[in-house]
Amino acid sequence: MDRLRIDLPLLLPDVPDARDACVARLQALLTPRKGIVQTHIREHDGTSEFCLHYDPALISGEEVRQLAHAVGAEVHARVGHHVLALRAVAGEDAGRRIEHTLGAIDGVLAVSVNLPAQRARVEFDRERVSIAQLEEAVRELGFAIEVPPPVVPPVPLVSWYQRNRELAWSLAAGAMLTAAFTAERATGIRTLWMLAVYAGSYVLGAYDLVRHSVASMRRGRFVFDIDLLMLFAAVGAAILGEWAEGAFLLFLFSLAHSLEHYALGRARVNQVSGRSGASDGPRPAGH
């Protein structure tokens, strides 16, 4: 039994690494061929090699090489990889919605969303779905596709409030809650102005949750997620007269959301800054 080694990029251009599903597809198509005994990946000096073991009595080395390149071209022509540059996707729930929506499209084979990098990598069947359809599906969810890739704006030109509006609203909700709760405990009664302050805390704490839920329903996608569950819980508390408890729940949840978005924003800035400082030239987004 002889063997032939071919650098993986020569067979599957632009496949990110040997763990990509296209490598398994290539193996599945080659292994049953007459004379091919076994195929596997061999890592050598930092590169991936596609190794084919074959019976020289049934097939020559040159025939194996030609067959491997032909099947690789077939897989490359059928299966595409594309990276969608997202903008302002700032939460795990949003990332999961994008993955679920794209994954449900006929012809999409795999989806993964990287929130810090604001990228969605999609593997798809070129004959059944196009890149334009993938981008349109993301836009229908209410998220923008960044073209060209996102550029970090100069920090001095953007105010702290503009960069951290959600955090500011959450802190304001907490301050209003504290004021109303302290006054109610000090006087032992609940006045109309206290209810008004509680209501203001509700509005500030629930604004982004309501905005996301309403946007989904306008597009005909009712998603019963943790955001909607928190809204129902807070409304239920208000109906029962437990205004402080409902406002406290919304404050904590909005604070957690805003801190998560802040951390993702900082990670995105650091990643883009590091990428802009690299000496490598631009790399293609997909094939």
The two three-digit tokens of residue 246, written as one number: 């409902």
Q: Report the pLDDT averaged over residues 157-162.
A: 65
Distance CA 205, CA 225 (A): 17
- Residue 279: its pLDDT value, please? 41
Please, which pLDDT band fits residue 266 given cuts at 50, 70 and 90? Answer: low
Instruction: Please say if the pLDDT value at position 25 is more than 90.
Output: no
Q: Report the pLDDT averaged over residues 9-31.
A: 81
The secondary structure of 76-90 as a DSSP string is HHHEEEEEEEEES--
Please, which pLDDT band fits residue 190 given cuts at 50, 70 and 90? Answer: confident
Q: Report the pLDDT averaged over residues 187-210.
A: 87
Distance CA 181, CA 68 (A): 72
What's the maximum distance between 2 C-alpha atoms anywhere in the chain? 97
Q: Specify whether the CB–CB gap between 246 and 233 falls below 8 A.
A: yes
Angle, nearest 10°, between helix axes 92-103 and 131-140? 140
- Tens of pLDDT along 72-127? 888 888 888 888 888 777 778 888 888 888 988 988 888 888 888 888 888 888 88
Q: Listing from the earlier edge strand, what are the strands of the sheet with 36-44?
A: 2-7, 47-54, 36-44
Instruction: Please say if the pLDDT value at position 62 is more than 70.
Output: yes
- Tens of pLDDT along 145-157? 876 544 555 545 5
- Residue 77: its pLDDT value, please? 81
Distance CA 171, CA 256 (A): 11
Residue 269: C-alpha distances to residues 31, 88, 151, 262, 263 (Å): 45, 12, 9, 11, 10
Cα-based angle 187, 232, 210 (whole degrees, multiple of 5): 100
Share of the chain above pLDDT 90, in %: 6
Distance CA 161, CA 169 (A): 9
Distance CA 111, CA 98 (A): 9
Check residues 18 and 3 and name the one with the higher pLDDT: 3
- Name which of 27-36, 141-150, 165-174, 203-212 the model is least confident about: 141-150
- Residue 153: its pLDDT value, please? 52
- Residue 167: its pLDDT value, please? 83
Cα-based angle 114, 120, 124 (whole degrees, multiple of 5): 140
pTM of the predicted protein model:
0.45
Q: Report the pLDDT averaged over residues 131-152.
A: 76
The two three-digit tokens of residue 53, written as one number: 């073991």
- Tens of pLDDT along 214-254? 766 776 666 677 777 888 888 898 899 889 898 898 888 88
Q: Report the pLDDT averaged over residues 118-143.
A: 87
Question: Alpha helices, DSSP H only, in 79-191?
Answer: 92-103, 131-140, 160-163, 165-187
Q: Which of 72, 128, 75, 71 is nearest to 105 (CA)?
A: 128
Distance CA 43, CA 50 (A): 9
